[in-house]
Amino acid sequence: MDKTRPREGQLCRLTIDGYDSGGAGVARLDGQVVFVQGGIRGEECMVPHHVGRTVLWGRYRRCYPSPPASPRLPHFPGGCQLRHMSYAEELEAKRIKVSDALRRLGGAEIDLPPVLGAASPERYRNKAQFPVAKGAIGFYRARSHEVIDVADCLLQSEAAGRLRTAVKDWMARYAVPAYDERAKTGLVRHVYVRTNRAGRSLCCLLVNGRGVPREAELVRALRDAEPGLAGVVLGVNQKHNNVILGDSYRTLWGEDALTDTLCGLTFRLSVPSFYQVNPNQTEVLYGKAVELAGLTGAETVLDLYCGIGTIGLAMARRARAVWGAEVVPEAVDDAVANAARNGITNARFLCADAGEAARRLAAEGVRPDVICVDPPRKGLAGDVVDTIADMAPDRVVYVSCDPATLGRDVKRFAGRGYVLRQAQAVDMFPRTQHVETVALLTRGQSAGDDYQAED
């Protein structure tokens, strides 16, 4: 064969020697990279491949003795891109992913410790959002909006599965139509379930209308299905786009929100409230963020992208003062209420972006010693990096949900004199390709200098 140009569909025996950023196995064939969906490092397999201009793609056809793997589920890969690996291998794959992003994109050579894994990689999600289609309630097929009917998911709570099935049975019994994305007709769009650590659940139907038929029967079906049900809510979403949540909500029965505990604090969670989906690992992540902040009780902390105040309030007990900034007014209202609910008096919250927050704090003569950021997956805008550097904090604690944008921003911070000192990956989303990282940047120190965050 032509070693420089393999034939389309040709079977080749390859050895997986790494992973790409999405968790696919990586092999090499005559100097060309082959991405193998479902491949595990150290595995040998026969791969039928598709030939691209510079890379090859394949799915393994037949495997030879390989490292321990997890059983493959009927709907793999779906959202569980790493379900085929042992959990130990998954954690190492994620460590490699973060380390590579920091080195390749961030220009930072840093010794990344093992990923802090979950005690259990299953049943950890406290929120489920099931899309609805005719005859199906489940999840979207990969890279499509085709809904696959899935009765249970091992990442979700068992309560979510029971409530999902109750809604499906109610729709079938009373001929309640599902929403059709293409025709923009029909009624039920999503089934949303939120649970707390006490085992209580909140169920919301997102609908293309102001109500649903047989509301009493719906409530009865859900209450019969789930003994821990705290409330049933109807959410109105009549916009023809991909947004899940609604513009308004009406309580059909019970409570319209749950309370949950996190880091020793109590939070009120309505349907639209942002809240981390894995509370056990969130405590690990926030605990590491507090540690890297090096708080002694004398510092002023600025928490950018503060959401409902979870990180800032966790730091408030070890800081002199905390300021939170968030552009979503409802989230700021929740943050203020959460501070009051927990008796925290040294935290204030601004409805502002990073630039506006900086200007308002400067006008009050406030200089933060520590700035904490927890941006969305797209990371920080370039002007936010400059704004933070201009405020000249001693330490920047960066909580990231995307290693690639973290690496990019580490490079940007380096251009303003802030060097990556430590980084720790935390597995917030077991069995998926996603991983959280908390990183510490300080001014004027090289990565080789000895540094210890204060207790």
Low-confidence ranges of the chain (pLDDT < 70): 1-6, 60, 62, 64-79, 445-455
Domains of the chain, by residue range, sit at 11-67, 93-119+265-443, 127-257
Give CA–CA dist 375/354, Å, rounded.
11
pLDDT tens, position by position, 241-250: 989 999 999 9
Predicted pLDDT at 50: 80
116/128 Cα distance (integer angstroms): 24
14 exposure class (CB count in 10 Å sphere: 0-12, 13-18, 19+):
buried
Q: Which residues contact 81 (CB under 8 A, 6 or more apart)?
A: 22, 23, 431, 432, 433
pLDDT score at 249: 96
C-alpha 271/C-alpha 187 separation (Å) is 19
How far apart, in Å, do the first and last CA atoms of the chain sit?
A: 62
The CA distance from 218 to 415, in Å, is: 57
Neighbours of 134 (CB within 10 A): 11
Q: Tell me, what's the pLDDT at 303? A: 96
pLDDT at 412 (0 to 100): 97
Question: What's the pLDDT at 38?
Answer: 81
Q: What is the pLDDT of residue 451?
A: 46
Phi, psi of 221 (to 5 degrees): -65, -40
DSSP of 382-400: HHHHHHHHHH--SEEEEEE
- d(C-alpha 9, C-alpha 352), whole Å: 54
CATH number of 93-119+265-443: 3.40.50.150
Return the pLDDT at 70. Answer: 55
Q: Tell me the two tokens of residue 136.
A: 């199906």
401, 402, 403, 407 alpha-carbon torsion, rounded to 10°:
-110
The alpha carbon of 175 is separated from its chain's Cα centroid by a whole number of angstroms, namely 35
Query: What's the length of the chain?
Result: 455
DSSP state for residue 67 in the 8-state scheme: S
Cα–Cα distances in angstroms (integers) from residue 329 to residues 134, 156, 192, 285, in the given order: 36, 30, 23, 25
Beta bridge partners of 130: 191
pLDDT tens digit sequence for 393-445: 999 999 999 999 999 999 999 999 999 999 999 999 999 999 999 999 999 75
pLDDT of residue 266: 96
Q: Do domains 11-67 and 93-119+265-443 have the same CATH topology?
A: no
Q: Kindly state which CATH superfamily the domain 11-67 is placed in.
A: Nucleic acid-binding proteins (2.40.50.140)
The answer to whether 351 is a known catalytic residue is no
Q: What is the pLDDT of residue 24?
A: 84
What CATH fold (topology level) applies to the domain 127-257?
OB fold (Dihydrolipoamide Acetyltransferase, E2P) (2.40.50)
Query: Three-state DSSP class for 402?
Result: coil
The Cα–Cα gap between 197 and 38 comes to 33
How many whole angstroms separate alpha carbon 381 and alpha carbon 291? 26
Which member of 80, 351, 372, 401 is catalytic?
A: 401
State residue 2's pLDDT score.
47
User: Cα dist. 153→42, 161, 165, 279 in Å?
Assistant: 28, 7, 12, 18
pLDDT of residue 23: 83
Residue 6: per-residue pLDDT: 66
